[in-house]
């Protein structure tokens, strides 16, 4: 018997944003093993142009990502939901190892199993170079503080 990952589908106006925030918190932990536990063992991803299948591949992908996208801070915002699907807008800021800053904008669609684990994640993301002084995601690494502006607050 596997574990469940609340909130569980079918999603509601209260549980869908909660699921999104929990996903954001996981990604902001920058812990590939922790993040991978939110996905089914055979989860299917498309992240940009890369196709990823299964938790081991998710961990490998997130490990590579963490080595390239330094000082990563992300905000996810609910866009729409149905019984077992959620669509989010996502924006994150990061720098490369040369000190160049980027803001990445994207959309993700998610599909969940009854146990609350995500079985499909499809992400379309674009990177935009920014100046250091134009950064907006300035909280300490880790979880975004309650009350910190979200994507709509920034007009992203």
Give the global pTM: 0.96
In tens, the pLDDT along 33-77 reads 999 999 999 999 999 999 999 999 999 999 999 999 999 999 999
- Give the burial class of 43: count Cβ atoms within 10 A of its Cβ; 0-12 exposed, 13-18 middle, 19 or more buried: buried
First to last CA, the chain: 41
**For the chain, which domains are there?**
15-137 (3.10.450.50)
Alpha-carbon gap, residue 150 to 16, rounded angstroms: 16
User: Mean of the per-residue pLDDT values for the chain?
Assistant: 97
2 or 31, higher pLDDT? 31
Alpha-carbon gap, residue 143 to 152, rounded angstroms: 18
Q: State yes or no: pLDDT of 128 exceeds 70.
A: yes
Q: State yes or no: pLDDT of 1 exceeds 90.
A: no
């Amino acid at each position: 018997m596997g574990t469940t990952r609340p909130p569980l589908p079918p999603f509601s106006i209260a549980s869908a944003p909660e699921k999104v925030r929990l996903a954001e918190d996981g990604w902001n932990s920058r812990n590939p093993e922790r993040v991978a536990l939110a996905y089914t063992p055979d989860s299917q991803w498309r992240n940009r142009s890369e196709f990823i299948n299964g938790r081991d591949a998710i961990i490998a992908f997130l490990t590579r990502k963490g080595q390239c996208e330094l000082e990563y801070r992300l905000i996810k915002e609910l866009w729409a939901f149905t019984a077992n699907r959620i669509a989010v807008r996502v924006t994150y800021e990061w720098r490369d190892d040369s000190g160049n800053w980027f803001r990445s904008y994207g959309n993700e669609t998610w599909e969940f199993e009854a146990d609350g684990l995500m079985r499909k994640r499809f992400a379309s993301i674009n990177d935009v170079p920014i100046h250091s002084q134009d950064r907006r995601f300035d909280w300490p690494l880790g979880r975004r503080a309650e009350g910190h502006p979200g994507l709509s607050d920034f007009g992203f």
